[in-house]
Amino acid sequence: MEETTSTILAALSSLPPSHLTNLTNTILSSTRRHHRRLTFLLSSPSLFSLTLHHLHTLSLQQKTLLISRHLLSFLHLLTQSNNPTSPLPPPVSTSMRERDTDAVLLLLLFCETHKYNPEALTAPFSHWRLNLNKIFSNTLLTLSYSSAPPLGACFGSVLIPFIETVSRCWRLVGVLGCEEGKEVKEVAASAATVVSLPAVEVSVGGRECVICKEEMQVGRDVCELPCQHLFHWMCILPWLGKKNTCPCCRFRLPSDDVFGEIQRLWEVLVKISAKHI
């Protein structure tokens, strides 16, 4: 837990003030949206019951996937803030149906309540919604969201809860196999990533495509990966259809595998943090 928090804090500390401000505003907007949704969910008996029923129908793996998508959206915010000019598009889409958004917000609220206010969930089921509503309302009263809060207030009311949420989600997902250093299965690069790869003209002779071992002709358009290695289009496209790594340096491109993306982005954060430290 402490190592996770330290990694996130180091990555945040490496941001220029303007990038930190943009990140804080984005987090604030997302947090407000989630708070409004959760407030509506807890104030509606019918919606609360439907969402709880939906959670009961999900397997542990499906619940983990919901939390993973939620975590992935946070990790992308952090890595994109550290490299806002990155040529790579966002990783796998983290947009969820409204029903799934309600489910993951309620699930995380259950986890937090179980840790800090377990008695609220030992009460009869009919009292759960009211108990959770009271706890959540009291939590909101401790947060201040002015239109232009000072930097210290931003950090206290926005970034600290954000860091805690990322750490908690990472811990929940990590225990099921997404920790740093664990081997990730081979997956294809995402279609959005492949489509966005630039074509560049070969300007110097003698450069070899490491896939087919043939020389790339001067004046010919070839594919350039973000790591700046060049390949024939007809060679790299089939490769990226099976693997999301560069054949030369193993640089990892975004994929549509949620758990693989979490590990990829977390490794990016670890590298950013190590540089800053």
Residues of the chain with CATH 3.30.40.10: 191-240
| Predicted confidence (pLDDT) per residue in 213-226, tens digit | 999 999 999 999 99
Q: Does residue 252 sit in helix, strand or coil? A: strand
Mean pLDDT, to the nearest integer, of 11-19?
Answer: 84
Q: How many CB atoms lie within 10 A of CB 249?
A: 11
pLDDT in tens, 32-84: 899 899 999 999 999 999 999 999 999 988 898 888 888 888 888 888 776 65
Q: Kindly indicate the confidence band of residue 7, based on its pLDDT and cuts at 50, 70 and 90.
A: confident
pLDDT at 147: 41
Q: Which pair of tokens denotes residue 21?
A: 């401000």
pLDDT score at 238: 96
The pLDDT value given to residue 178:
54
For the domain made up of 191-240, give the CATH fold.
Herpes Virus-1 (3.30.40)
C-alpha count within 13 angstroms, C-beta hemisphere, residue 117: 16
Does residue 5 register a pLDDT over 80? yes
Structure tokens at 228: 């700046």
pLDDT in tens, 140-189: 655 544 444 444 445 557 788 888 888 888 877 765 555 555 566 788 99
Q: Which tens digit of pLDDT belongs to each residue from 229-268?
A: 999 999 999 999 999 999 999 999 998 888 888 888 888 8
Q: Which of 146, 144, 159 is nearest to 21 (CA)?
A: 159
